[in-house]
Amino acid sequence: MLNWIWLALVAISVLVGALTGRLEAVTRAAFDGARTAVEISFGLVGIMTLWLGLMRIAEAGGSVRLLARAIRPLARRLFADVPAEHPALGAMLLNIAASWLGLGNAATPLGLKAMEELQRLNPRPDTASDAQVTFLALNTACITVVPATIIAVRVSLGSADPTEIVLPTLLASCCATVAAVTAARLLARLRPFRLPPPEHRGEDP
């Protein structure tokens, strides 16, 4: 779908440029945009390499596991249907902690593992469980402690204070997370979205 949207935007731009006699301006803007994209990409390399390296050191030092341990009490309330010692809970906690620290590469496989383990507990394989929906909401509207990518973009574009967005981003992502989790929990109680009680719970073989 996204490919079709981009294709439509390009086609409309060329058509409008041809009809208004400004096709040369459209072409020039396309090349200017491509050049700017390359310049920004090269500007990102240094700071992203530094940040990811620091985060890898933090991960190896156990920061992810410490953060996961700190948010375990809250996770137990959000995922009351998941047994305390089930692998799904551990994978979810590590995924959330890694996402908060900006470790996207580490968070992705943990998120997939968490969904796989949650599916083992799901008595209806063709329907997402409440725990899966809540976890997806948490993962999508993830709290961003340090928006490294945006900071890197601002640095590459010569921002006078590239880190000034840290607090607004943290507040916005916290609000988004609260809204997403609240919506997931409230919608689960509405009749159209409420799952009937299963006859049995899926268990690991």
pLDDT per residue as tens digits for the range 51-84: 667 666 766 777 667 767 777 787 778 887 888 7
Q: Extract the tokens encoding 15.
A: 């058509």
- How many angstroms separate the CA atoms of 132 and 137, rounded? 9
Q: Extract the tokens encoding 154.
A: 């601002």
- How many angstroms separate the CA atoms of 72 and 78, rounded? 10
Query: Which of 73-87, 89-103, 169-183 is modeled with the greatest confidence?
Result: 169-183
Q: Extract the tokens encoding 88.
A: 């799904």
The burial class, CB within 10 Å (0-12 / 13-18 / 19+), for 152 is buried
pTM recorded for the entire structure? 0.61
* 118-145 core/surface letters (b: 16 or more CB in 10 A; e: else): beebbeeeeebbbbbbbbbbbbebbbbb
Question: Would you state the pLDDT for residue 75?
Answer: 78
- How many angstroms separate the CA atoms of 180 and 202, rounded? 26
The pLDDT of 74-95, averaged and rounded, is: 79
Q: pLDDT per residue over 9-38, tens digit each?
A: 888 988 988 888 888 888 888 888 888 888
Question: Would you state the pLDDT for residue 179?
Answer: 93
